[in-house]
Amino acid sequence: MKQLIELTINNRVYEVPVSPKDLLADVIRDKVGLTGTKKGCGQGDCGACTVLIDGNPVLSCLTLAIACQGRKITTIEGLVAEDGQLHPIQQAYVDHGAVQCGFCTPGMILTSKALLDRNPKPSEEEIKRGISGNICRCTGYKKIVEAIFAAGETISTEGVK
């Protein structure tokens, strides 16, 4: 049943043996070893497993790995620059106190990235709407919204290094 497929994750090609039923979240975590992608509910309700596929935020717990061949997958591990510098969104989350337990953080940051890629200067309302599929139980979202707003400013003035 298993077959070898190629997955492009964070600009690197991985050859992984998968069954058709294997979910992207499990393959990324268990076979590729990128455990930054989290599983909070398994039903698409919490957003912790969000990854970007061709730039769009996608729930990896409801995506078949086999269906992702030939697509560009970005996980949280793919955001840091080659020199180790944090992506402006990551830096803003740290600086604004938008991280508490951190379990929602990878998915939240990737959703933020998809939002800012589409709309670099979102309004507060647009940010809230954009991240409403990512549940955070710790922060009350306020500092997350502030971080995204600040990251948008940084990216539009300085760009992403």
Partner 1 sequence: MYLNNFEYFAPETPGEALDLVARMGNKAKVLAGGTDLLIMMKEKMIQPEYLIDINNVKEFKGISYEPGKGAVIGAATKISEVEHSPVIRDKYFALHQAAGELGSAQVRAMATIGGNSCHASPAAETPTPLVAFGAKIVISSVSGDRELPLEEFILGNRKNALAEGELLTQFILPEPAPKSASRYWYIGLRDAMEIDAVNMAVNMVLENDGRTVKDLRLVMGSVSPRPLVSVEVPGILVGKEFNSELVEKAAQAAAGEAKPISDIRASAEYRREVTAVLARRLLQQAFDAAREV
Partner 2 sequence: MNKDFTQVGRSVPRKDGPLKVKGEAIYTGDMVLPRMAYGKIKRSPYAHAIIKKIDYSKALEMPGVLAVVTGDEAPKKWGIVPQTANEVALAVGKVRFYNEGVAAVAAIDEETAEAALDLIEVEYEPLPVLTDPFESMKRANEVCIHEDAPDNILHAGDQLFGDPDKAFAECTYVLEREFHTSYVNHAFLEPHTSLASYDTQSGQLQLWSSTQVPHYLHTQLSIVLEMPMSKIRVTVPAVGGGFGGKGEASPADFCAALLSRKIGRPVRVAFERSEVFATNKGRHPCHMKMKIGLDKDGYIQAVDFDNTLDGGAYAGWGIVVMFYTASMIHLPYKVPNARANVRRVYTNKPTCGAMRGLGGVQPRYAMECMLDEMAEMIGISPYELKMKNAVESGYRSVSNLHVPHTEYRKCLQTAAERSGYLEKHGKLPFGKGIGLAGGYYISGTAYTLYQSYKPHTTVLIRVDTEGGATVHCAAADIGQGCNTVMAQMAAEALGIRYEDVHVVSGDTELGTFDLGSFASRLTYASGVAIKDAAKQINDKLFEVAAGMVGCRADQLEVKDCRFYSKFEPKKTIEWAKVVDVYTNSVGTLTGLGHFSPPRLKGIDLTRGKRVQGANIGHSPTFGFSCQIWEVDVDLETGKIRVDKVTEAGDCGQAVNPMSVDGQVEGSILFAMGQALYEEMKVAPDGKIINASLHDYKVPTAMELPEIDTTIVDSYDPTAPFGVKESGEGPVQPTIPAITNAIYDAIGVRFTDLPITPEKVLKALKEKQENQKSEGR
Give the footprint of partner 1 on this chain (CB under 8 A). Answer: 1, 19-21, 23, 42-45, 47, 50, 56-59, 62-64, 66-67, 111, 114-115, 129-134
Helix (H) / strand (E) containing 8: strand 3-9
Q: Is 77 near partner 2 (CB under 8 A)?
A: yes
Spatial contact of 89 and 116, defined as CB atoms under 8 Å apart: yes
Nearer to partner 2, 63 or 90 (CB): 90
Spatial contact of 159 and 153, defined as CB atoms under 8 Å apart: no
- Nearest approach, Cβ of residue 130 and partner 1 (Å): 6
Among the listed ranges 62-70, 73-81, 115-123, 150-158, the one in contact with partner 2 (CB under 8 A) is: 73-81
Please spell the DSSP secondary structure of 75-88, one letter per residue.
Answer: -GGGSS-TTSPPPH
| 62, interface contact from partner 1, partner 2, none, CB < 5-8 Å by kind | partner 1
Q: Is 160 near partner 2 (CB under 8 A)?
A: no
- CA dist list (Å): 148 to 2, 131, 140: 41, 10, 14
Helix (H, G, I), strand (E, B) or coil at 121: coil
Nearer to partner 1, 20 or 97 (CB): 20
Q: Is 138 near partner 2 (CB under 8 A)?
A: yes
Which residue type is seen at 103? F
Beta bridge partners of 56: 53
Q: Is 64 near partner 2 (CB under 8 A)?
A: no
Residue 39 burial by CB count (10 A; 0-12/13-18/19+): exposed, middle or buried? middle
Q: Is 5 near partner 2 (CB under 8 A)?
A: no
Per CB under 8 A, residues contacting partner 2 are 29-30, 34-43, 45-46, 48, 75-77, 79-80, 86, 90-91, 93-97, 99-106, 109, 127-129, 131-145
